[in-house]
Chain A
Amino acid sequence: MSPIAQFPPRESFLKLDHVSIGFGPENERVNILENVNLSVKENEFVAVIGFSGAGKSTLVALLAGLEQPTAGKVTMAGKPVTRPGPERGVMFQTYSLLPWLSVFGNVELAAKSVFPEKSKREIRGHVEHYIEMVHLTPAMEKKPHELSGGMRQRVSLARTLAMQPEVLLLDEPLSALDALTRAVLQDEILQIWEQEKKTVILITNDVDEAILMADRIIPLTMGPKATLAEAFPVTLERPRERRTLTENPEYQHLKTDITSYLVNLNREARASRGTRIIQMPSVAPKEFRPKSRVIGIGGKHA
């Protein structure tokens, strides 16, 4: 679909060059990510895998341009990424749907702002096309709170695709879903990727998911000062069949390798933190919130 796809894929289409990012005041800044290097080929499907808290979401924010690195450079097609834009579509873990808009409205908002020159009818067709692509046509007029988690994430996907981004940044899009819905959505995302041929960076904590979907799996070491480790290329043939995949020796091999690598990472990290055990305070949550809410401002509940 995108005109660039006609040319041979560019080698380092999306690039992180010695990137570091930290938060806090300068003199006591702790780097979340340190010296990260990444080079993604055009139309490549890369999975970044890591433990929670390692800095995966920060990595996405950097790639999207939502955050600026404190050191190093983020470039796309050779140009530095200085601010977010529709050419790098982000699919957030929390769906981030606007709760007062319908499914159609949410996708329409994206389409309208990315293609302001399109007529009303063209926008309608455009939106309907992407809603159809994620199989949500029957729920088009529903509000997000009327949808299940899987359906909401589909809306989020449709919205991201409707921007026609060159790069799809998927920030743990499926981790909040149950296993069955997850599997269905994995297949859908893969199918769409085959059709649209886009560069995809998938952030995940699920090794199976990564192997099933990606061309290359890059582990993120434990934070703080996390960085990307050596990549594991996945050479399994596509399309990959979920049912037969588990019996494939290459798959088993790869899974064992990645898993043990991650387990080692965890062990090293613990060792480096020392044996000091910090007694955590009791943080059992109290139910302060009244049963009914007037002030439901979407967000994570959307």
Chain B
Amino acid sequence: MAIKYKILKAINISGMNFLAPVVRLAVGEDPQKQLREIGRFIVVPALAFLAFLLLWSVLAPKHKTKAGEVPTPRVTWEATGGIWRFHDRETRKDEAYQFTGGQRLEALVAAKSRMAELDALETKAKAELATVEASSKEKYDAVVGPVKAAYDKARETTSESRRTRTEALKTEAAALANSGADAREEFIGHLKAAEVTTGKEKTDLDSLKDKYTEVQSIAFPETKKAQRAVTLLAEERQFLVKYIDMLGEGSREVKVTESKAKYDEAKTAFLNAGPDEDLFKLGSSLVKRQELMATTETSSYAKPWTLPKQIVRSLLCVFAGFLLSSLIAIPLGILCGLSPTFMAATAPFVALFKPVSPLVWLPIIMIIVGGFMPDPANHWLILLFGKIPFIGNYKIDPMFLSSAITVALCSLWATLVNTALGVGSVDKDHMNVARVLRLGFWSRLFKIVIPTALPLIFAGLRISLGVGWMVLVAAEILSTSEGIGKFVNDMYTNGSSQSFAQMFVVVFIVGIIGMILDRIMVIFQRLVSFDNASSAI
């Protein structure tokens, strides 16, 4: 039973209250009530989400865009697989490049055997596609045929009727030679009427043509599936070709061996050179060879940025900004809360800068940061970040710093205001206790003021982190600093239906990460809330 309360307490602290009835049900506590709760807090939200997915599936294909149909949940899910496959394959290539000895050969054998399998699979998939296309040809004709026939017929009748009309008018015009003004006026009327009829016929024909074009693009699900299978296999083949190269000829080990051989050759040539040979030339070539060998030994595969890596960089950036904002906002907030004078001095800045959009801050910050770092690659700060393990892999550049500063500027207000409020709301009785105990300034600050303000400080931090995460993605889109925002920007520029779907994936990824960050802050907030009251979520 004790364990039950521990679990329930953990659930409560983490704010995952919807799990509580499941735990209670598991220990057999009032099953009817728990089932009702599960119904309300788990089944109902799940149903709502299903309804959302259904609506999305139905509505999305109805809208056509330049980048194809709006992706359905299914397409979005497939795009998630695509993003992951890309990441996985790039990671494998990176590893392959660095494999040596038996490991490399083993991987090479495995890759080659997969390549052999692929041949058979591809033939099969292509055959299937052909069959599917053949069988769907009938279906296609059945759908498209009548529309095409109607269009062709309409085209014919239209041109026919137009010709007849023109002929008739020409005849009429010929007859006009001897007629008076009235007849000529009448003829003009006929001409105008003929124009109108032609226009109307053209519109009708156009609408038929549109219908025909639309119906032509019809794709049957089975054809789509077969096409997708073929595409996936082709992509895998493309990968395997590169992968095998990375394990074989293109591997670092082979390259190092080659350059070592060349170096040895050059060395022999230099040492054994006769008196009539150019020792200067041979010597310089030897030095060059040596340098080349050294670079080859430490070289690595130029791995492109994949979404998972971009996500990690975005998280690093948001934490950097969040840290910066906390370091500024908490001390300032404490000062504001302690001193009404300081508060009065700060208030106009808060009011003025709080509403400023990150999209205004970012370019300004970029220029300012750029001013500090005329040669970013050799700036001490960038070099310092480059040396830190883990963080060094994420290419900390002025763009990263600018994004982090923008995040800090936009998110510090919530912490500042909440901290000031928390510090200002110290109980008068507690202050009296401090006075009776004759606590000094620092004791008062750390033993009374900050503990009082802590729940509010954390409430502020929670808001700040949420704001920061939102701001960051926007900042990355604008600054094209590697990260989730950059990914979205790339996909937008790319403009294919595949990349359109990947942008949808990003929506969910950003949402889920934001949710997790918020949960983490809620847990912290509850841990410092001394009255154990559950927080508003």
Q: Which residues of A contact B (CB under 8 A)?
A: 64, 66, 83-86, 88-90, 92, 94, 96, 98-101, 109-110, 113-114, 143, 145, 163, 290, 292-302
Contact = CB atoms under 8 A, between A and B. Distances in A.
Given A145-B532, A294-B456, A295-B455, 15 more contacts: A66-B432, A66-B435, A84-B436, A86-B436, A96-B427, A96-B430, A96-B433, A98-B447, A100-B454, A145-B530, A163-B436, A294-B536, A296-B455, A298-B430, A298-B452
Contacts of B438: 84-86, 113
B530 A84 contact: no
8 contacts: A66-B436, A84-B438, A98-B447, A145-B531, A293-B531, A295-B422, A296-B531, A297-B427
A99 B531 contact: yes
Nearest to A88: B436
Nearest to A145: B531
Contacts of B219: none
B100 interface: no
A90 B433 CA distance: 8
Given A294-B535, A295-B456, A298-B427, A98 B436 contact: no
Given A92-B432, A297-B425, A110 B437 contact: yes
A198 to B, nearest CB: 15
A297 B426 contact: yes
B448 interface: yes
Interface of B: 422, 425-427, 429-430, 432-433, 435-439, 443, 447-448, 451-452, 454-456, 459, 525, 529-536
A103 B534 CA distance: 22
Contact of B437 (A66, A86, A143, A301): A86
Given A293-B531, A293-B533, A301-B531, A98 B459 contact: no
A84 B435 contact: yes
A297 B455 contact: yes
Contacts of B452: 297-298
Contacts of A114: 437
A96 B435 CA distance: 12
Contacts of A85: 436, 438
A99 B436 CA distance: 18
A147 to B, nearest CB: 13
Nearest to B429: A96
B219 to A, nearest CB: 53
Those 4 A-B pairs whose CB atoms lie nearest each other, nearest first: A296-B531, A100-B530, A294-B535, A299-B427
Nearest to B530: A100
Contacts of A294: 455-456, 459, 525, 529, 533, 535-536
A92 B436 CA distance: 11
B455 A84 contact: no
B-side binding surface: helix, strand, loop or mixed? Answer: helix
B255 to A, nearest CB: 60
Contacts of B426: 297
A86 B425 CA distance: 25
Contact of B436 (A64, A101, A292): A64
Contacts of A100: 451, 454, 530
A99 B429 CA distance: 12
A101 B319 CA distance: 31
A296 B425 CA distance: 10
A143 B533 contact: no
Contact of A143 (B425, B427, B530): B530
A268 to B, nearest CB: 33
B443 A113 contact: yes
A163 B433 contact: no
A122 to B, nearest CB: 18
B20 to A, nearest CB: 15
B529 A296 contact: yes
Q: Which of A94, A163, A297, A298 counts the most chain B CB atoms within 10 A? A: A297
A101 B425 CA distance: 18
Contacts of A293: 531, 533, 535
Contacts of A84: 432, 435-436, 438
Contacts of A94: 429
A85 B438 CA distance: 6
A64 to B, nearest CB: 7
A234 B534 CA distance: 50
A88 B437 CA distance: 10
Given A84-B438, A293-B531, A98 B536 contact: no
Nearest to B437: A113
A89 B436 contact: yes
A302 B533 CA distance: 12
B523 to A, nearest CB: 13
B535 A292 contact: yes
A84 B435 CA distance: 6
Nearest to A83: B435
Nearest to B462: A294
Contacts of A86: 436-438
A100 B446 CA distance: 12
Nearest to A94: B429
A86 B439 CA distance: 10
A302 B459 CA distance: 20
